[in-house]
Amino acid sequence: MALDFLKLHDKNLAKTYGDRPRRDETPKRRNRVVEGIDKMLAALKVGEETPKRGWYSTRGNVVRVQLKHGSKPLTINGQKEFFVQRQRVADFYANARKSVEAGELDSSINALFAKSGGASSKRGAMDPAKLAERNRKRASTLAAKKQQPQE
């Protein structure tokens, strides 16, 4: 009588429970990039040289521009920043907006959310020789600590 409710349990249902349809987040992500571009176009219209969000910065007649999703810069054709003449920056962002809306940059946007395999993207993989040396030092330090008399 006790634990009769467990007879209703079906282990096979656990597999189907996790198989729910995933929503496509691409339109939401695309809209966030478009919103950022609109903010930069507004900042350009006002005449800001270096906006708070850091999508572009001006030095003389050259402007370094980026497209971002939040604070993460998009990598487009292997580049995260582009250099444009000052008078063409609004055109750059207007054309970039059209490309984002058309879905041409979806792969760059979604790449920001792809799961990376282990090593930090900033540091890259550690050199195997350095890793072996570090592990050897750690092992010798632990061995030395074990040999010390405990008080």
Residues 68-86 have pLDDT tens digits of: 998 899 999 999 999 999 9
Specify whether the CB–CB gap between 37 and 93 falls below 8 A. yes
- Give 34's contacts (C-beta < 8 A, 6+ positions apart): 97, 100, 101
**Per-residue pLDDT at 144:** 84
**Per-residue pLDDT at 68:** 93
| Crossing angle of the two packed helices 26-46 and 89-101, in degrees rounded to 10 | 160
Specify the residue for token string 């995260």. 80
**Per-residue pLDDT at 124:** 64
**Per-residue pLDDT at 35:** 94
The 3-state DSSP class for residue 68 equals strand
| CA nearest neighbour of 82 among 109, 96, 63 | 63
**Per-residue pLDDT at 50:** 79
Specify whether the CB–CB gap between 81 and 66 falls below 8 A. yes
- Give 111's contacts (C-beta < 8 A, 6+ positions apart): 75
pLDDT mean for each 10 residues of the chain (151 residues): 77 74 86 94 87 85 92 92 94 95 92 67 69 85 79 58
**Per-residue pLDDT at 151:** 58
The DSSP symbol for 26 reads H
Q: What angle do CA 142, 144, 148 make, to 5 degrees?
A: 115
Number of neighbouring beta carbons within 10 Å of residue 67: 25
pTM for this prediction? 0.63
